[in-house]
């Protein structure tokens, strides 16, 4: 009921402003207080005099708000005066005290108000709407733990979230490290309380400490305020049915006053921004990913331009029916064995897939013809030169044409791009405009991954780096997201049983699409799919660079990360971590962890020491008597037998593998990290040498990889392996990778990735 009352109040405030205000405007401080009161949140008592009002009459009532010492706060009122202190618009007064001095105090207050107004006008301050007298709320200013920042903000992509932080003048000094970002969707008091009590700095507000024997604020009260703001943010957000969006409401500070949490200042911003409501015909994504027919536009009849490479790649496509690959060319009869047609209208039928490899200016007309003549169910638009190059008009024209086609009876095509490399749909087709001999897609044990990226170049590097290890079900470069977005592809692959992991490199979301991605991510997690993301644009410069691929700048990284993790997405902080998570989740998908108890063995003391600092939620397992008996029999007497086990460089291949098997069969072990630095002469870790310089052969049944893989394959537990040595031991790594075992170069990265895999994901956080 309170949220509904606040929304109705906001609508009334906005309606009063609409006739003389632009589509975006601020609320003044009294209006913010009215919203807070409607939500049941406390603010200091106040009295407002509108510009031109009788200050003497106002002052007689306002002076009664002064405390026993005559303290009263005088402020300018104006929705466009966002920094009142700098405008000379805040003053702490000490009026004459006592009943006998009420008249004198009122006169003093009126004079102070007149002086403030005159000074502000003389200083050129505009937008003055009046003055406000506010009761002084006793508190300890500029003291950590006594002032709170509470902000509701609407992220353009993800929607409402609440930020709790250190307030007052200390807000900027403490920075992001003293803030907590709470996505509004599904937020409840228990979640807020847990987050506050566990925060390294904000816990000072709500827990006893060396500074405060009693917490400055009750955690339940602060949590209730955050939830109230979250509920208002959803009810008055860009996805709500109302006309107005509450873009931001900031309380800074709210203080630990005598009556509890009390707001001392507030600003808010309102707009008419709403998320687009148009739904794309996602059923046509199936035609995009598994087409039976295709046409390519922009093909050279003489040279090997990108269009010609695409035709050559599609000529080998398994999904296309015989004779169903076409080219639009004004003169040629056939190119690369595909028949040519003079224009789009001349095509014999509607194709499942059209690939446009024309310059941006010509691409607009090509899209229009495909839509108007209904000659494609899906379009891949390769060229750049749209919004990222300052030609937003071309992008807008394409989007308008697509929308018109999709709105008609029967629907129109969906589109991927522009500024994209294309799509590889495994066992179906390849539209990357790269020669196959430069970028082969060779099969490997990891085939349960859907990989989508705003950057086509990233897909190229991933494909090359994981050649023969991971061959994704699809590799999709989605570019500028003129039509289909990353959330559309997630929605499609949730229902595909071949995909257990959905990984995406994202530079920015379109307005509202972040919120839709979160909905799909929750669905994916409920189905058991792991969703992994690397979000670029963490800094201002990163966001600027990301804008070359998306029509809107990347949103605030902290908000994005908080929202994504709340929905169960594993967000990687670096590209190395991104690929570590992909490798681990993809290859271990068939080996679920029963818990987080890890068994670790290495033959290097530094690894045993280092790994204990990087467990990231893993717990060292207790080895049982049977495992310890194997260790006693296999290892030299000076080896360390407790977990992590240090086998020392003296352990040979059989001894080390026997220890691995003992760890894996131990009932108290849920998962294992196995690492052997392979340069020791005691282990068989090199390929056979025809010249006979050494006796080792990793292809032999007694080699280290053969024996370790036998132990790994006998267990259903998730296992990662570390091979921390140079290129000489790349064949050793390949032995494990070919068997579907994740291999790492460093033990700390292996531990962090394994911890992420084992982390409980029963639903979303």
In a domain, 763, yes or no: no
User: Considering 563, 590, 617, which residue would you say is the last residue of a domain?
Assistant: 590
**Peptide bond between residue 365 and the one before it cis (omega within 30 degrees of 0):** no
What pLDDT is stored for residue 169 in this prediction? 72
Mean pLDDT of 118-146: 90
In a domain, 713, yes or no: yes
User: Considering 422, 438, 454, which residue would you say is the last residue of a domain?
Assistant: 438
The share of the chain scoring above pLDDT 90, in percent, equals 80
What pLDDT is stored for residue 139 in this prediction? 86
Global confidence as pTM: 0.92
What pLDDT is stored for residue 764 in this prediction? 37
What pLDDT is stored for residue 168 in this prediction? 79
Q: Are residues 127 and 178 in the same domain?
A: no
Render 391-428 in DSSP notation, one character per residue. Answer: -HHHHHHHHHHHHHHHHSTT---EEEESS---EEETTT
What confidence tens digit (pLDDT) does each residue in 662-710 have?
999 999 999 999 999 999 999 999 999 999 899 999 999 999 999 999 9
What confidence tens digit (pLDDT) does each residue in 210-259 have?
888 999 999 999 999 999 999 999 999 999 999 999 999 999 999 988 88
The 3-state DSSP class for residue 488 equals helix
What pLDDT is stored for residue 15 in this prediction? 85
Give the C-alpha separation, 291 to 378, whole Å.
Answer: 9
> Do residues 90 and 113 make contact, with C-beta atoms less than 8 angstroms apart?
no
Q: Give the CA radius of gyration of the chain.
A: 32
Give the C-alpha separation, 626 to 196, whole Å.
Answer: 44
Instruction: Show the domain range for 606.
Output: 591-758
Whether residue 21 has pLDDT greater than 80:
no
What pLDDT is stored for residue 605 in this prediction? 94
DSSP conformational letter for 596: S
Question: How many of the other CB atoms lie within 10 Å of CB of 436?
Answer: 13
Q: Are residues 443 and 420 in the same domain?
A: no
With CA atoms as reference, report the closest residue to 420 among 428, 431, 429, 408: 431
In a domain, 172, yes or no: yes
What pLDDT is stored for residue 436 in this prediction? 83
Question: Which helix (H) or strand (E) covers residue 193, if one does?
Answer: helix 189-198
Q: Which residues pair with 340 in a beta bridge?
A: 327
DSSP conformational letter for 446: B
The 3-state DSSP class for residue 258 equals coil
In a domain, 142, yes or no: no
With CA atoms as reference, report the closest residue to 156 among 661, 744, 553, 566: 553
283 burial type by CB count under 10 A (0-12 exposed, 13-18 middle, 19+ buried): exposed
* Residue located via tokens 């939830």: 227
Q: Are residues 574 and 457 in the same domain?
A: yes
- Distance, C-alpha 273 to centroid of its chain: 22
Whether residue 340 has pLDDT greater than 90:
yes
What pLDDT is stored for residue 144 in this prediction? 79
For the chain, the first-to-last Cα distance in angstroms comes to 27
Q: Are residues 704 and 694 in the same domain?
A: yes
Whether residue 718 has pLDDT greater than 60:
yes
Q: Supply the CATH number for residue 331's domain.
A: 3.40.50.720
What pLDDT is stored for residue 247 in this prediction? 96
Q: Are residues 419 and 446 in the same domain?
A: no
Mean pLDDT of 416-443: 91
DSSP conformational letter for 145: T
Give the C-alpha separation, 758 to 584, whole Å.
Answer: 10
What pairing do the DSSP bridges indicate for beta strands 570-572 and 449-453? unpaired
Q: Are residues 116 and 226 in the same domain?
A: no
Number of domains in the chain: 5
Question: How many of the other CB atoms lie within 10 Å of CB of 458?
Answer: 19
Q: Are residues 411 and 468 in the same domain?
A: no
Ramachandran area for residue 33 (φ above 0: left; ψ -120 to 50: alpha; else beta): alpha
> Do residues 701 and 714 make contact, with C-beta atoms less than 8 angstroms apart?
no
What pLDDT is stored for residue 99 in this prediction? 53
Q: Which residues pair with 133 in a beta bridge?
A: 47, 74
With CA atoms as reference, report the closest residue to 196 among 225, 154, 232: 225
Q: Are residues 380 and 420 in the same domain?
A: yes
Ramachandran area for residue 725 (φ above 0: left; ψ -120 to 50: alpha; else beta): beta
**Lowest-confidence segment of 361-375, 491-505, 542-556 by average pLDDT:** 542-556
What pLDDT is stored for residue 110 in this prediction? 95
Give φ, ψ of 15 to 5 degrees: -65, -35
In a domain, 141, yes or no: no
Question: Residue 86: CB partners within 8 Å, gap ≥ 6?
Answer: none
Question: Residue 529: CB partners within 8 Å, gap ≥ 6?
Answer: 493, 494, 499, 500, 501, 502
102-122 vs 55-62: helix axis angle to the nearest 10?
A: 130
In a domain, 724, yes or no: yes
Structure tokens at 623: 């080895």
Whether residue 549 has pLDDT greater than 50:
no
User: Considering 250, 271, 292, which residue would you say is the last residue of a domain?
Assistant: 271
Sign of the alpha-carbon torsion through 453, 459, 461, 463:
positive
Q: Are residues 445 and 484 in the same domain?
A: yes
Q: Are residues 250 and 123 in the same domain?
A: no
Mean pLDDT of 751-762: 85
In a domain, 140, yes or no: no
Mean pLDDT of 521-544: 83
What confidence tens digit (pLDDT) does each residue in 304-333 have?
899 999 999 999 999 999 999 999 999 999
Q: Are residues 567 and 647 in the same domain?
A: no
Q: Are residues 331 and 363 in the same domain?
A: yes
With CA atoms as reference, report the closest residue to 483 among 314, 294, 356, 344: 356
Q: Supply the CATH number for residue 485's domain.
A: 3.40.50.261
In a domain, 373, yes or no: yes
**CA 228 to each of CA 26, 32, 257, 368, 590: distance values in angstroms, whole numbers, following the listed order:** 20, 14, 19, 48, 43
What confidence tens digit (pLDDT) does each residue in 148-176 have?
999 999 999 999 999 999 887 777 676 77
Looking at per-residue pLDDT, the higher value among 552 and 586 belongs to 586
């Amino acid at each position: 009921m309170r949220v509904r009352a606040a929304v109705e109040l906001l609508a009334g405030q906005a309606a009063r402003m609409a006739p003389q205000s632009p589509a975006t405007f601020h609320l003044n401080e009294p209006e913010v207080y009215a919203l807070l009161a409607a939500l049941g949140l406390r603010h200091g008592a106040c009295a407002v005099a509108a510009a031109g009002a009788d200050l003497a009459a106002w002052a007689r009532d306002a002076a009664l708000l002064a405390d026993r010492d005559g303290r009263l706060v005088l402020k300018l009122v104006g929705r466009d005066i966002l920094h009142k202190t700098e405008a000379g618009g805040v003053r702490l007064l000490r009026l004459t005290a006592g009943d006998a001095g009420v008249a004198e105090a009122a006169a003093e207050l009126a004079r102070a108000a007149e002086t403030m107004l005159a000074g502000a006008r003389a200083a050129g301050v505009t937008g003055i709407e009046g003055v406000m007298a506010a009761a002084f709320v006793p508190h300890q200013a500029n003291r950590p733990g006594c002032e709170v920042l509470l902000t509701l903000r609407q992220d353009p992509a993800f929607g409402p979230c609440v930020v709790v932080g250190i307030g007052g003048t200390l807000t900027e000094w403490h920075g992001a490290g003293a803030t907590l970002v709470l996505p509004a969707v599904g937020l409840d008091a228990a979640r807020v309380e847990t987050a506050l009590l566990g925060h390294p700095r904000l816990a000072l507000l709500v827990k006893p400490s060396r500074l405060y024997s009693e917490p400055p604020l009750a955690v339940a009260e602060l949590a209730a305020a955050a939830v109230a703001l979250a509920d208002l943010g959803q009810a008055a957000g860009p996805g709500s049915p109302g006309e107005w969006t509450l873009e931001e409401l900031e309380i800074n500070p709210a203080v630990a006053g005598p009556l509890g949490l009390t707001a001392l200042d507030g600003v808010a911003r309102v707009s008419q921004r709403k998320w687009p409501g148009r739904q794309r015909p996602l059923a046509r994504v199936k035609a995009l990913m598994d087409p039976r027919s295709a046409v390519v536009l922009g093909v050279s009849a003489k040279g090997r331009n990108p269009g010609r490479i695409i035709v050559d790649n599609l000529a080998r496509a398994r999904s296309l029916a015989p004779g169903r690959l076409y080219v639009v060319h004004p003169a040629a009869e056939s190119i690369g064995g595909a028949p040519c047609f003079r224009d789009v209208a001349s095509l014999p039928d509607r194709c499942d897939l059209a690939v446009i490899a024309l310059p941006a200016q010509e691409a607009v007309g090509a899209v229009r013809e495909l839509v108007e003549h209904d000659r494609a169910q899906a379009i891949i638009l390769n060229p750049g030169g749209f919004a990222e190059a300052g030609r937003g008009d071309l992008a807008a024209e394409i989007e308008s044409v697509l929308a018109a086609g999709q709105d008609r009876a029967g629907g129109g095509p969906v589109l991927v791009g522009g500024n994209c490399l294309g799509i590889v749909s495994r066992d179906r087709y390849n539209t990357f405009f790269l020669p196959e001999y430069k970028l082969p897609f060779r099969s490997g044990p990891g085939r349960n991954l859907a990989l989508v990226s705003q950057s086509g170049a990233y897909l190229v590097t991933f494909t090359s780096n994981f050649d023969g290890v991971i061959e994704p079900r699809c590799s999709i470069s989605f570019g500028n997201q003129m039509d289909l977005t990353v959330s559309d592809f997630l929605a499609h692959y949730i229902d595909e049983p071949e995909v257990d992991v959905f990984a995406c490199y994202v530079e920015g979301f379109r307005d509202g699409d972040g919120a839709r991605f979160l909905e799909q991510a929750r669905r994916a997690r409920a189905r058991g799919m792991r969703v992994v993301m690397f979000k670029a644009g963490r800094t201002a410069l990163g966001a600027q660079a990301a804008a070359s691929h998306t029509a809107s700048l990347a949103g605030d990284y902290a908000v994005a990360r908080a929202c994504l993790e709340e929905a169960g997405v594993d967000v990687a902080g670096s590209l190395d971590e991104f690929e570590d998570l992909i490798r681990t989740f993809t290859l271990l998908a068939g080996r679920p962890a029963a818990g987080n108890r890890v068994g670790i063995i290495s033959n290097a003391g530094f690894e045993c020491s280092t790994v204990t600092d990087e467990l990231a939620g893993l717990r060292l397992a207790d080895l049982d008597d049977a495992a310890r008996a194997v260790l006693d029999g296999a290892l030299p007497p000076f080896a360390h037998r407790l977990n992590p086990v240090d086998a020392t460089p003296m352990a040979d291949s059989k001894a080390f593998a026997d220890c691995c098997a003992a760890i894996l069969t131990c009932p108290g072990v849920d998962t294992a990290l196995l690492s052997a630095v392979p340069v020791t002469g005691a282990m068989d870790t090199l390929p056979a040498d025809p010249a006979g310089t050494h006796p080792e052969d990793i292809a032999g049944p007694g080699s280290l990889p053969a024996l370790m893989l036998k132990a790994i394959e006998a267990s259903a537990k998730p296992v990662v392996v570390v091979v921390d040595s140079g290129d000489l031991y790349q064949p050793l790594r390949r032995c494990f990778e070919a068997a579907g075992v994740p291999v790492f170069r460093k033990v700390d990265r292996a531990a962090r990735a394994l911890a992420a895999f084992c982390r409980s994901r029963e639903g979303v956080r």
